[in-house]
Amino acid sequence: MFVLGIETSCDETAVAVYHANRGLIAHTLFSQIATHAEYGGVVPELASRDHIRKLVPLIKTVLAAADLQAKHINGIAYTAGPGLMGSLLVGAATARSLAWAWQIPAIAVHHMEGHLLAPMLEDTPPAFPFVALLISGGHTMLIEVQGIGNYRLLGESLDDAAGEAFDKTAKMLGLDYPGGPKLAELANQGHPRFKFPRPMTDRPGLDFSFSGLKTFTLNALNETGQSPQDKADIAFAFQQAVAETLTIKCRRAIQLTGLKTLVVAGGVSANREIRRQLSAMADSANIKIYFPRPDFCTDNGAMIAYAGGQRLIAGQTQNLEIFARPRWPMEQLPQL
Ligand code: ATP
Ligand code: MG
Ligand code: FE
């Protein structure tokens, strides 16, 4: 079974083909970073217009790269939410129309289930059950995962998501959008100097709060002459605070659930220091840890083709509704 995956939830247009037995066949992506950079963030109307321009050409590119024709595709998986409504509608309407024309099923995929299952595309995939830490631009969640669609939320961010905190802090340090990866680079030049808090680690529970770190960034900036080295030291302190906070909460989630496997996914899981600290914790706790390859931490079509593919292979189908949900709790997903 060949599954075409379509991702258009935010500022990446991404397409992939996944095969039930052969795995990932081809994938491609166009990032709209250049379009939004001058505004310092994603402009929803520009995003949806660009998805319209890029999606069909990218589908053609992926089919050609996979050496496949439309008639070979057996199902379509598209991101139906959460995300920007206009952007989601481009993917959903295109996927539904193609499925109608090609007389094949299409399935709505939850973007965060896509992120969650991205490590399944690697050579040594994790086995259920596991604890998942999802850290992305819009979400920070700890989830107990018993299987596909069997999710129990253990904790989440009460304010800024981890990626959002990276991006906002980067902006305060004068870095261009999207600042997360740039802040990480700057932190490499930094030294231990400022002490930032590890929010909500001094009380029980698995929720997060990252918005308070902005105040510490601001105070540190005001204390210094804001030289490149000052900024690098602040970036270092911020990154350490986030990495250590995530690590403490993951250790706690592992202890609480008794599970032996940790899966970390979403854009922020590309961060080298966060990967390093979480891996060290996993080693010392004697548990297994899994990440997606760096390219599949951030948005991509492969994770959508995979997640939707699993549901299609299991025989799950949907009616012809163009399904798009800007907000969509993961617990509402059907179990596979
Ligand atoms: P969501 O998945 O919650 O809907 P999104 O799709 O915008 O949000 P992702 O594509 O998963 O988010 O990830 C993008 C986020 O990851 C951005 O906030 C970006 O700054 C952050 N990010 C990417 N690489 C790194 C890195 N190396 N270090 C820190 N943050 C990073
Ligand atoms: Mg993005
Ligand atoms: Fe995402």
Encode pLDDT of 280-301 as tens digits. 999 999 999 999 999 999 999 9
Mutate to test the pocket of ligand 1, among 8, 277, 298, 328 (most ligand atoms within 8 A of CB): 298
Q: How far apart are CA 6 and CA 97, in angstroms?
A: 13
- Regarding the beta carbon of 167 and ligand 1, being less than 6 Å apart is answered yes
Smallest-distance ligand from the CA of 137 = 1
pLDDT band with cut points at 50, 70 and 90 for residue 310: very high
Name which of 158, 155, 200, 192 is nearest 273 in CA terms. 192
Q: Which residue's C-alpha comes closest to atom 11 of ligand 1?
A: 267
Name which of 249, 165, 244, 146 is nearest 210 in CA terms. 165
pLDDT band with cut points at 50, 70 and 90 for residue 191: very high
Q: How far apart are CA 115 and CA 304, in angstroms?
A: 8
Q: Mean per-residue pLDDT for 191-211?
A: 97
- Regarding the beta carbon of 30 and ligand 1, being less than 6 Å apart is answered no
The pLDDT tens digits of the residues spanning 56-72 come to 999 999 999 999 999 99
- The residues near 326 (Cβ < 8 Å, ≥ 6 apart) are 81, 82, 83, 84, 85, 88
- Render the burial of 147-161: b for 16+ CB within 10 Å, e for the rest: ebbbbeebbebeebb
Which residues are bridge partners to 27 per DSSP?
Answer: 16
From ligand 1's centre to the CA of 268, what distance in Å?
5
Q: How far apart are CA 175 and CA 37, in angstroms?
A: 11
Q: Is 83 annotated as a binding residue?
A: no
From ligand 3's centre to the CA of 135, what distance in Å?
9
What pLDDT is recorded for position 34? 95
What pLDDT is recorded for position 57? 98
- Regarding the beta carbon of 137 and ligand 1, being less than 6 Å apart is answered yes
What pLDDT is recorded for position 290? 99
Smallest-distance ligand from the CA of 276 = 1
From ligand 1's centre to the CA of 137, what distance in Å?
4
Q: Is 3 helix (H, G, I), strand (E, B) or coil?
A: strand
Smallest-distance ligand from the CA of 180 = 1
CB-hemisphere CA count at 13 Å for 243?
Answer: 21
- Regarding the beta carbon of 271 and ligand 1, being less than 6 Å apart is answered yes
pLDDT band with cut points at 50, 70 and 90 for residue 307: very high
What pLDDT is recorded for position 215? 97
From ligand 3's centre to the CA of 165, what distance in Å?
15
The pLDDT tens digits of the residues spanning 40-99 come to 999 999 999 999 999 999 999 999 999 999 999 999 999 999 999 999 999 999 999 999
Q: Is 308 annotated as a binding residue?
A: no
ipTM exceeding 0.95, yes/no: yes
Mutate to test the pocket of ligand 1, among 166, 175, 177, 246 (most ligand atoms within 8 A of CB): 166
Q: Among the atoms of ligand 1, which is closest to the Cα of residue 180? A: 20
The reply to whether 2-116+296-332 and 127-291 are identical in fold is yes
pTM: 0.98
Q: Among the atoms of ligand 1, which is closest to the Cα of residue 82? A: 4
- Regarding the beta carbon of 242 and ligand 1, being less than 6 Å apart is answered no
The pLDDT tens digits of the residues spanning 137-165 come to 999 999 999 999 999 999 999 999 999 99
Instruction: Report how far apart the first and last C-alpha atoms of the chain are (Å, whole number).
Output: 18
Q: Which CATH architecture has domain 127-291?
A: 2-Layer Sandwich (3.30)
CATH 1.10.760.10 assigned to domain 2-116+296-332? The reply is: no
What pLDDT is recorded for position 19? 98
Mean per-residue pLDDT of the chain? 98
Residue percentage of the chain with pLDDT more than 70: 100
- Regarding the beta carbon of 114 and ligand 1, being less than 6 Å apart is answered no
Domain ranges of the chain: 2-116+296-332, 127-291
From ligand 3's centre to the CA of 287, what distance in Å?
26
Instruction: Give phi and psi for 130, each to the nearest 5.
Output: -155, 165
From ligand 3's centre to the CA of 192, what distance in Å?
31
pLDDT band with cut points at 50, 70 and 90 for residue 167: very high
Q: Is 135 annotated as a binding residue?
A: yes
Q: How far apart are CA 100 and CA 255, in angstroms?
A: 48
